[in-house]
Each structure stands twice: as structure tokens, then as C-alpha cells.
Amino acid sequence: MKIASIQLTIQDEESKEARVDRAMNLISGCTGADLVLLPEIWNTGYFGFDRYHDEAEPLDGPTVSAAAARARELGAWVHMGSFVERRPDGSFTNTSVLLDRDGKPAATYRKIHLFGFGSDETKVLTPGTEVVTAATDFGRVGLATCYDLRFPELFRRMVDQGAEFFLVCSAWPYPRLEHWMMLNRVRALENEAFLISSNCVGVTRGKQFCGHSQMVDPWGTPVAAAGDEEAVVRAEIDPGLVGRVRDIFPPLRDRVLKS
């Protein structure tokens, strides 16, 4: 299967509408891909906390609808990254949506681990509570967002639900690049799963995103990666590798302490 991870530039001077149009054009350029990913809160910009509530959307709002149209256009699965969702109960969440090849929502994940270190995310958003996996035509995927990478129990819960792929949208900043690089590989390695990430680049509110979106195989080996500029990372992978690795090397079967 062919994968494309869009590492999108976020800049304060660009409007939300212009950024959505630009991202949709990048998706349209991913002809032939079976799966396309976008980063975290890319339409508003992660550090624009003062705009979160004003720019929030419902699940059937313009950003998800635009991504759904591109999924239908390409005939591809599209992980449209995340956005600030305005929920019917009046709360706001960091919500990601996986769209199937017909543009229909296959999974909706609300970020469980909100980031409070030098961030107002915990002040303006409500954390999610559900671990989310979904069946696709290439295997079961688990959804995670940025700070979630630091919590191995979440990924093990997804494996227990049958996940073979982790799809991670992110707005990970410098100076913690080495943490990002290691955690992408470790979460794949310890769970013998593919991990595919899409991170932001650019500078907003004085914070620089570190990029380095990756595709890591079940041995923990990166098969494709970007630097710290806007890019579309592409790779062709064999979904059957997950099963073969788990058969060859048995740590998941040898677990003693289970969730």
C-alpha cells in the first residue's frame, strides 16, 4: 500500500481559510495513495489558543467536509489530522477523524492526553476518554495525537484492540526533537506495529514546530522521514509485515502484565 504524510507549514499570517485550501490542494496531489495524513490542529494552528473557540467546528463542519471530498476524489483513506471540535454539549475537544475511501467517517478520536507544559490546551479544551481503533481494508488502525506518544499504555490498549497501525497527528515543537524521533520508533518497536506520523512545521506565536514526520515499520526502523520544511513524505509498505514480525519475534505473546 502507498502512504502520503503531509507535513504542513503553519504561519500566523495565513488565514484559516487559506490554509484549508492549501492543505486540500496538497491532498489532491497525493494521487495513487491509499492513505493520506495531516497534522494536529493545522487549520487554526496549535498555539493559537485564543482562536480555538471562535474557529471551532462541528464534526460535519467545513474542514472535515473538505477532507471528505478529497478522500472521495482520490479513493483513499484520509486521516484529516485534528481540529477544534465544538460539541453539542458546549465543550471543545482536540478531535481527529479518519475518513474512508468514500469520504465517510470511519473513526473519530478525541485527544486523551492534553498538553499543559507551556501550553493552554488544558485550559481551553476537554480531554477525550475513549481509546479508538478502526477496521480498514489494509488492517486495524489506532489513532493518537501528539502528546499521547508519551503514554505507552494508550498504544498497548490499542494493540489489545487489534491495532496493527498507529496514525499520529502532531504539532510537536522544538526543542524536544530527539524525544519525538525516539518516541515514534519506540511506540512502533514495542508494539510491533507500523507507526505513521504527520507533524507541523513553521512558526506560530513564537513556537517552532520540528517536523520530521515519519513512517516506522514494526521492527522500529524508519522507512521514510522528512526534515523540518514542508514536505509530503511518501512510502510503499507491506501491511502483512506486522503479522510476520509478530510471528517471528514473540514479546507481545510473552506479556505477563496485561491491561
Over residues 143-160, the pLDDT tens digits come to 999 999 999 999 999 999
Residue 107 one-letter amino acid? A
pLDDT of residue 259: 66
Backbone angles phi, psi at 145, to 5 degrees: -135, 115
pTM surpassing 0.85? yes
Residues shown for the chain: 259
Q: Examine the pLDDT at 104 and tell me if it is beyond 70.
A: yes
pLDDT of residue 247: 96
Task: Indicate the pLDDT class of residue 257, thresholds 50, 70 and 90.
Answer: confident
> Can 40 be counted among the known catalytic residues?
yes
Lowest mean pLDDT among 88-92, 106-110, 116-120, 123-127: 116-120
Selecting among 40, 85, 164, 192, the annotated active-site residue is: 40
pLDDT of residue 211: 98
Selecting among 146, 169, 200, 210, the annotated active-site residue is: 146
Q: What is the rounded distance in angstroms from the CA atom of residue 55 to the CA atom of residue 37? A: 21
Across the chain, mean pLDDT equals: 97
> Can 146 be counted among the known catalytic residues?
yes
C-alpha cell at 213: 514526520
List, for residues 172-199, the tens digit of each pLDDT value: 999 999 999 999 999 999 999 999 999 9
What CATH class is the domain 2-248?
alpha beta
> Can 210 be counted among the known catalytic residues?
no
Q: Examine the pLDDT at 171 and tell me if it is beyond 70.
A: yes
CA-wise closest residue to 194 among 148, 147, 245: 245
Selecting among 111, 164, 169, 210, the annotated active-site residue is: 111
